[in-house]
């Protein structure tokens, strides 16, 4: 993206006010009728325990030496990468939105699962929970659009001739996304924050910085150092396996999040010269977000309800275990008020829509001023 100074974004919150008032009332009535909380229920707790147990089992299998060949060990790292991604989407994601339990401390503690897996939950919360959820699909404000020049994810991003091929090489970039995050983005942020602290400037709190460093060390110990000590193989096998673990996590997480916002139909609004968006915050979320595979129990279970992104963006403080129940309410209310409700019927139609969008943005004709 360009290096121009960011504008303060102003939403016209008079638009769609009646819609959101009615929607909130209906959602509240739904929870009241079932006498349930917006937060995690028993099933969510059991699901979380199951997923974390599976991650632990996968890790124990890796370091147990049950696999002795290079291929077998790398295969276990790949499997573990997928399992860890499931744990992050189902458990840490909800906690960092304050949606798992009532109370800041409990959610923060659960959110450290993400740090254990290698990524800073403190900075993820800022860039995803705040920037992305507030400024969805707005260039220079939505952190999810701030990718290297090799990918063009919106019509206002600079176009280069090699973008015509991005639909072919995008999966490779998605797979290295987490490697970049763990070993470039996070350390860069930490060093910058430490320098700011030393200069007496405002930055991340000292306890958060200390925990970031501690969890980075623990992560490296668990996934590199300990396997190197326990497994009777050459070090290159562990290193390659570990990179495959991060690549599997990166490909899985990045792809799932792309299917909600970098697909057909959704908008990429641009503020005017004064930073004003001609929509309310709520209508903006409907305009820029799409669901996918909402009828698939497998997709819903594995990906932490992220296939119900519309409901998640409208009610981010609601645990994902409830989103499938909110979907009919949101859909019918949107229809009643004549509003959009975007959805791809299956996981694979969403994948195809995403790659068609990459193809469209790879064409010079998609450029908008």
Question: For residue range 34-72, what is the model confidence (pLDDT) as tens digits?
Answer: 999 999 999 999 999 999 999 999 999 999 999 989 999
Structural domain contains residue 50: yes
270's tokens: 């641009």
Mean pLDDT of 144-158: 86
Structural domain contains residue 1: no
Helix residue ranges, H only, the chain:
17-34, 42-64, 70-87, 93-96, 104-116, 121-124, 133-134, 166-180, 186-198, 206-220, 226-230, 235-261, 281-288, 297-302, 309-314, 323-336, 347-361
Structural domain contains residue 4: no
Residue 2: pLDDT band (50, 70, 90) is very low
Higher pLDDT, 218 or 203: 218
Mean pLDDT of 304-312: 97
Hey, CA dihedral for 53, 59, 65, 68, is it positive or negative?
positive
Please report, for residues 2, 164, 360, the alpha-carbon distance to residue 366 in angstroms, rounded to integers and kept in the order given: 17, 11, 7
Whether 164 shows a pLDDT value over 60: the answer reads: yes
Mean pLDDT of 147-176: 92
Res 6: pLDDT: 58
Instruction: Give the domain extent around 84.
Output: 10-364
Structural domain contains residue 203: yes
Structural domain contains residue 170: yes
Whether 264 shows a pLDDT value over 90: the answer reads: yes
Mean pLDDT of 276-299: 95
**φ, ψ (nearest 5 deg) of residue 344:** -100, 130
Structural domain contains residue 5: no
Structural domain contains residue 369: no
Structural domain contains residue 89: yes
**Taking the complete model, does pTM exceed 0.85, yes or no?**
yes
How many domains are there within the chain? 1
């Amino acid at each position: 993206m360009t290096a121009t100074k960011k504008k303060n974004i102003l939403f016209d919150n008079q638009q769609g006010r009646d819609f959101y008032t009615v929607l909130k009332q209906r959602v509240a009535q739904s929870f009241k009728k079932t006498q349930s909380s917006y937060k995690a229920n028993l099933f969510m707790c059991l699901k979380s325990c199951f997923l974390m147990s599976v991650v632990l089992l996968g890790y124990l299998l890796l370091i147990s030496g049950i696999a002795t060949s290079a291929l077998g060990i790398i295969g276990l790292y790949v499997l573990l990468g997928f399992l860890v991604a499931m744990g992050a989407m189902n458990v840490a994601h909800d906690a960092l939105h304050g949606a798992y339990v009532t109370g800041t401390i409990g959610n923060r503690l659960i959110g450290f699962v993400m740090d254990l897996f290698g990524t800073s939950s403190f900075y993820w919360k800022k860039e995803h929970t705040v920037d992305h959820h507030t400024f969805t699909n707005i260039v220079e404000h939505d952190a999810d659009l701030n990718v290297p020049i090799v990918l063009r994810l919106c019509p206002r991003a600079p176009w280069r001739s090699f973008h015509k091929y991005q639909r072919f090489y995008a999966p490779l970039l998605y797979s290295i996304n987490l490697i970049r995050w763990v070993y470039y983005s996070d350390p860069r942020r930490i060093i910058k924050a430490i320098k700011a602290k030393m200069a007496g400037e405002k930055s991340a709190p000292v306890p958060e910085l200390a925990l970031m460093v501690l969890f980075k060390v623990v992560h490296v110990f668990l996934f590199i150092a300990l396997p190197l000590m326990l497994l009777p193989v050459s070090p290159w096998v562990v290193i390659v396996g570990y990179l495959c673990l991060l690549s599997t996590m990166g490909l899985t997480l990045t792809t799932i999040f792309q299917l909600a916002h970098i697909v057909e139909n959704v908008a990429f609004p641009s503020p005017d010269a004064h930073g004003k968006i001609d929509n309310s915050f709520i209508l903006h979320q409907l305009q820029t977000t799409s669901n996918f595979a909402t009828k698939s129990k497998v997709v819903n279970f594995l990906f932490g309800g992220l296939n119900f992104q519309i409901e998640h963006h409208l009610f981010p403080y609601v645990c994902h275990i409830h989103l499938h129940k909110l979907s009919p309410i949101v859909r019918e209310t949107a229809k009643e008020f004549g509003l959009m409700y975007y959805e791809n019927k299956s996981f694979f139609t969403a994948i195809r829509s995403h790659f068609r969008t990459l193809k469209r943005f790879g064409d010079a004709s998609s450029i908008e001023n």
